[in-house]
Structure 1
């Protein structure tokens, strides 16, 4: 008789969290530091995974600055590297303005979430219960065997 199968808890191989000013400069810095973190984790700058994660962060950070900015509040980027996915989380100060997926207009803008949807396996929004922040998250799949995993380059605590 077989026992009941149990869901396996995903193994976290690394995390990265950083606050940025809610400015275009902060969004650019977020993109650059995420690209660097992906390289540290073993995903070369020009790899598909690194480019996808960096692009998703760039789009979500730009949205945080453009649509989620509240004076005096920064935005936060968090990456969680697991065996099969990189979870990107961008939290900004406007819990009352949730992102809406829409067809792009002829003018500038409107394509950011479409890019996120195209690159991510899943995505969503979680407003904080106190109404002060919201987190937009996306999960980008990682092919097995790509990058250096935890025991090769990740120091303890990263």
Structure 2
């Protein structure tokens, strides 16, 4: 049976740091140290996308972590329209690498429709608690 932690955050830049801290606390509680930095970075990038592109003004986004025997899933859900797209980024560009980093670091990446909004999900297969 998976263990789950989730928390809602306001649409604010400070929430990116708070989401990363939330993830770090959950990983510590579960005894997960393998790939901890990669997981926290992916939480940051997905939370930043929710703040900048996903969650409408005045709304929140939700970060959910679930861990079972095989996979740790990060899920960042917002109620905004549109879908995240992984794009090729010009090497000189100052931004736009977030989803590319997530897809590079995580073993799986998918966007799930959530009725209202969507969830960006990243899975880490070799994590154990």
Calculate the TM-score normalised by the size of structure 1. Answer: 0.75
C-alpha contact (below 8 Å) 1:17/1:76 kept by paired residues: yes
- Aligned pairs, number: 128
State the structure with more CA Rg.
1
Moved over 3 A (4+): none
Distance 1:81 1:39 in 2: 12
Deviation at 1:41, TM superposition (A): 0.5
- Local SS of the residue matching 2:85: coil
Q: Classify the secondary structure of the residue corresponding to 1:91.
A: strand
Decide which of 2, 10, 13 is 1:24's aligned counterpart. 13
Deviation at 1:107, TM superposition (A): 2.2
Match of 1:102 in 2: 87
Aligned to 1:63: 49
Instruction: Provide the C-alpha distance between the structure 2 equivalents of 1:114 and 1:48, rounded to a whole number of angstroms.
Output: 21
Q: TM-score, normalised by structure 2?
A: 0.91
Note the C-alpha offset of 1:98. 0.6
* Aligned-partner Cα distance in 2 for 1:107–1:83: 39
Paired residue for 1:153? none
Please state whether the residue corresponding to 1:136 is helix, strand or coil: strand
Cα separation, 2, equivalents of 1:127 and 1:108 = 29
Note the C-alpha offset of 1:30. Answer: 0.5
